[in-house]
Amino acid sequence: MLTNEQVLEALKPVQDPELHKSIVELNMVRNIQILDGSHIMLEVLLTIQGCPLKAKIQQDIEETLRKLGAASVSLKFGAMSKEELAALTQSLKKEATTDSGMPKMLRPDSGVTFIAVTSGKGGVGKSTVTINLAAALARSGKKVGILDADIYGFSIPAMMNIQQKPTMIDQTAIPVESHGVKVMSMGFFSPDNNPVMWRGPMLNKWIRNFLVNTHWGELDYLLLDLPPGTGDVAIDVAAMIPQAKEIIVTTPHTVASFVASRAGAMAVHTKHEILGVVENMAYYEDKDGTKKYLFGQGGGDALAEQLNITVLAQIPFAQPEENTGSSVYDEEWLIGEAFTNLAEDIIFSVEKMNKQV
């Protein structure tokens, strides 16, 4: 004969798919009734009415309780009250922030590696590098997030073909997950692709909001897709996350390389460690293996030499896979393989640096 205690214990491993926390820990399981020793009835209170992942929760609960020995499982769904949501939000914030309100992930000992992906000018594929590096890190087993800090030129949601919006629990946003990567972007909050017309203080406020009022959960890496150049957002990120490391993206073109050197000079000035240069659209490879250098040669090497760093990768030029709507390359593609190698090199470098600290 099953007991309420056995049911709760069995359900502890079942997680809310968005918060990645136990539904028992979140106090979502209510009113357990057991009829004839094996017929289980219970209520599950969702964090939001009409939760898009309700079917997933139901499936996990039913499978778990049948393994426990339930002859049947009857679920009733409800929603948490405003008071319960407020308490949950406070709990999430307390878990994620220090007493002073600073996100714990910003502490040097948080275990999160911040990588700012920057460039001197737009159009060099900075966001393409960000999403593909993030996806490659996730494929390697790392917990990865992307903060689309390009407030004016946000493009990450469209490039990853993300259709849904973040779930909001009171004032806390749950990042959208795509390709195993948690994503937060101004693009989720700008209706109909409307332009964002803000000046410095508002930019700083939103970057802080993305860090403080987003439930990132456990992360190994948070990639920040910075706007091109050396403006307000880059300065704010340097101040907020002094331990961030940087990757500078350029094309082989000498002008792109020349402009990118300013971003590198800023990284040196703000004492951000530069992991290296990624030369994007380095060449186009024909079917016979012949390489064509559509944008010239040498830009990445010249930039690396000027900043006394290395070229981490030379990414070929190609269109994304057809019919996927996403700019994330499959790991079996030549470009996907290049990003896999880049991710492996970065993991090795970061772990080596951490051991030296």
Q: Amino acid letter at 108?
A: P
Per-residue confidence (pLDDT) for residue 177, from 0 to 100: 92
Mean pLDDT of 248-253: 91
Q: Is residue 90 part of a domain?
A: no
Q: Is residue 285 part of a domain?
A: yes
Taking the C-alpha atoms of 53, 56, 61 and 63 in order, what is their torsion angle to the nearest 10 degrees? 180
Q: Among residues of the chain, what percentage have pLDDT more than 70? A: 92
Q: Is residue 99 part of a domain?
A: no
Q: Are residues 67 and 109 in the same domain?
A: no
Q: Which of the pair, 242 or 139, is modelled with greater confidence?
A: 139
3-state SS class at 313: strand
Q: Is residue 351 part of a domain?
A: yes
Per-residue confidence (pLDDT) for residue 234, from 0 to 100: 74
Q: Is residue 137 part of a domain?
A: yes
Q: Are residues 38 and 150 in the same domain?
A: no
Distances (CA, A) of 229 to 119, 124, 270: 6, 12, 14
Average per-residue pLDDT in the chain?
86
Q: Are residues 210 and 313 in the same domain?
A: yes
Q: Are residues 74 and 171 in the same domain?
A: no
Q: Are residues 44 and 148 in the same domain?
A: no
Q: Are residues 131 and 52 in the same domain?
A: no
Confidence class for position 18, pLDDT limits 50, 70, 90: confident
What CATH number should be reported for the domain holding residue 155?
3.40.50.300
pLDDT tens digits, one per residue of 256-311 = 888 888 888 888 877 888 899 999 999 888 888 888 888 888 889 998 998 899 99
Distance CA 93, CA 101 (A): 9
Q: Which of the pair, 139 or 18, is modelled with greater confidence?
A: 139
Place of tokens 């993030």: 134
The total domain count for the chain is 2
Q: What tokens appear for 178 in the block?
A: 């795509």
Residue 61 has pLDDT above 60, yes or no: yes
Per-residue confidence (pLDDT) for residue 196, from 0 to 100: 54
Give the closest residue to 206 by CA, choosing from 240, 245, 162: 240
Confidence class for position 42, pLDDT limits 50, 70, 90: very high
Q: Which of the pair, 76 or 357, is modelled with greater confidence?
A: 76
Residue 314 has pLDDT above 90, yes or no: yes
Domain end call among 17, 48, 80: 80
How many helical (H) and strand (E) elements, i.e. helices and strands, does the chain have? 10, 17
Mean pLDDT of 160-165: 89
Dihedral over Cα of 184, 186, 192, 193: its sign: negative
Per-residue confidence (pLDDT) for residue 160, from 0 to 100: 93
Q: Is residue 51 part of a domain?
A: yes
Q: Is residue 213 part of a domain?
A: yes
Residue 52 has pLDDT above 60, yes or no: yes
Per-residue confidence (pLDDT) for residue 168, from 0 to 100: 82
Q: Are residues 43 and 186 in the same domain?
A: no
Residue 335 has pLDDT above 60, yes or no: yes
| Pair 118, 247: CB distance under 8 Å | yes
Q: Measured between alpha carbons, how far apart are the two ends of the chain, in Å?
A: 55
Residue 203 has pLDDT above 70, yes or no: no
Query: Going along 195-351, which residue ranges are E strands?
Result: 221-225, 245-250, 273-279, 284-285, 291-292, 311-314
A 10 A CB-CB count for 186 gives: 21
Q: Are residues 240 and 341 in the same domain?
A: yes
Q: Are residues 28 and 166 in the same domain?
A: no
Distance CA 217, CA 143 (A): 9
Per-residue confidence (pLDDT) for residue 200, from 0 to 100: 54
Distances (CA, A) of 189 to 62, 154, 237, 290: 35, 11, 21, 44
Q: Is residue 267 part of a domain?
A: yes
What CATH number should be reported for the domain holding residue 42?
3.30.300.130
Distances (CA, A) of 9 to 22, 57, 112: 11, 16, 31
Domain end call among 80, 112, 143: 80
Q: Are residues 13 and 51 in the same domain?
A: yes
Q: Are residues 148 and 67 in the same domain?
A: no
Rg from Cα positions in the chain: 23
| Pair 22, 60: CB distance under 8 Å | no
Domain hosting 215: range is 104-356
Give the closest residue to 264 by CA, choosing from 59, 83, 106, 118: 118
Give the closest residue to 190 by CA, choosing from 240, 150, 221: 150
Confidence class for position 74, pLDDT limits 50, 70, 90: very high
Distance CA 71, CA 337 (A): 48
Q: Are residues 315 and 182 in the same domain?
A: yes
